[in-house]
């Protein structure tokens, strides 16, 4: 049952991350009505599927969100509260591997930013792009590898 439950949870997480990425790309928002229930479902599911690791899911989820919360407060134009909640969801999905997912996502965003700099030169510094899809992609890579 745990293998089937894990598979269903992974499929659910990937589907939610795809929807959230699409919304972030389209409207530059990660909707609370999607991310908050998904975060709860994933956290509860992880605790039910792996009760001996309940602390890992809570710590990874909470610490990841807290780490992103500070920059979101300091520079809200650069990092939104939706990103903070998304990272909490990713922490619930990946556990302590959240660091790997965030590193992959940040590296992908960095490559995209470098491509913008190559394309537009110094004017690219004024451009913005949604960070959520990159974070989601990093999480999917870690989930599937």
- Please classify residue 121 by burial: count the beta carbons closer than 10 Å to its beta carbon, then call 0-12 exposed, 13-18 middle and 19+ buried: exposed
pLDDT of residue 77: 86
pLDDT of residue 89: 98
Residue 136 near residue 86 (C-beta atoms within 8 A): yes
Give the Cβ contact number of residue 139 at 10 Å. 27
pLDDT of residue 112: 96
Q: What is the dihedral of CA 53, 97, 44, 29, to 10 degrees?
A: 160
pTM, full prediction = 0.94
**6-36 burial code (b ≥16 CB/10 A, e <16):** eeebeeebbebbebbbebbeeeeebeeebbe
Give the Cβ contact number of residue 132 at 10 Å. 27
Kindly state the tokens that stand for 104: 């992959």
pLDDT of residue 124: 85
Tens digit of pLDDT at every position of the chain (145 positions): 479 999 999 999 999 999 999 999 999 999 999 999 999 999 999 999 999 999 999 999 999 999 999 999 999 888 999 999 999 999 999 999 999 999 999 999 999 999 999 999 988 888 889 999 999 999 999 999 9
Q: How confident is the model over 8-38, as pLDDT tens digits?
A: 999 999 999 999 999 999 999 999 999 999 9
């Amino acid at each position: 049952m745990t293998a089937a439950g894990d598979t269903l949870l992974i499929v659910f997480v990937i589907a939610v991350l795809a929807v959230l990425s699409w919304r972030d790309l389209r409207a530059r928002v990660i909707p609370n009505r999607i991310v908050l229930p998904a975060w709860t479902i994933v956290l509860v599911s992880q605790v039910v599927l792996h009760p001996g690791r309940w602390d890992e899911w809570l710590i990874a989820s909470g610490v990841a969100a807290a780490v992103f919360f500070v920059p979101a407060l300091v520079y809200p134009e650069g990092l939104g509260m939706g990103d903070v909640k998304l990272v909490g969801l990713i922490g619930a999905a990946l556990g302590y591997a959240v660091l790997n997912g965030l590193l992959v996502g940040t590296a992908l965003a960095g490559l995209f930013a470098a491509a913008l700099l190559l394309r537009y030169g110094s004017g690219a510094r004024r451009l913005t792009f949604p960070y959520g899809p990159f974070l989601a992609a990093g999480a999917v890579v870690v989930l599937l590898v």
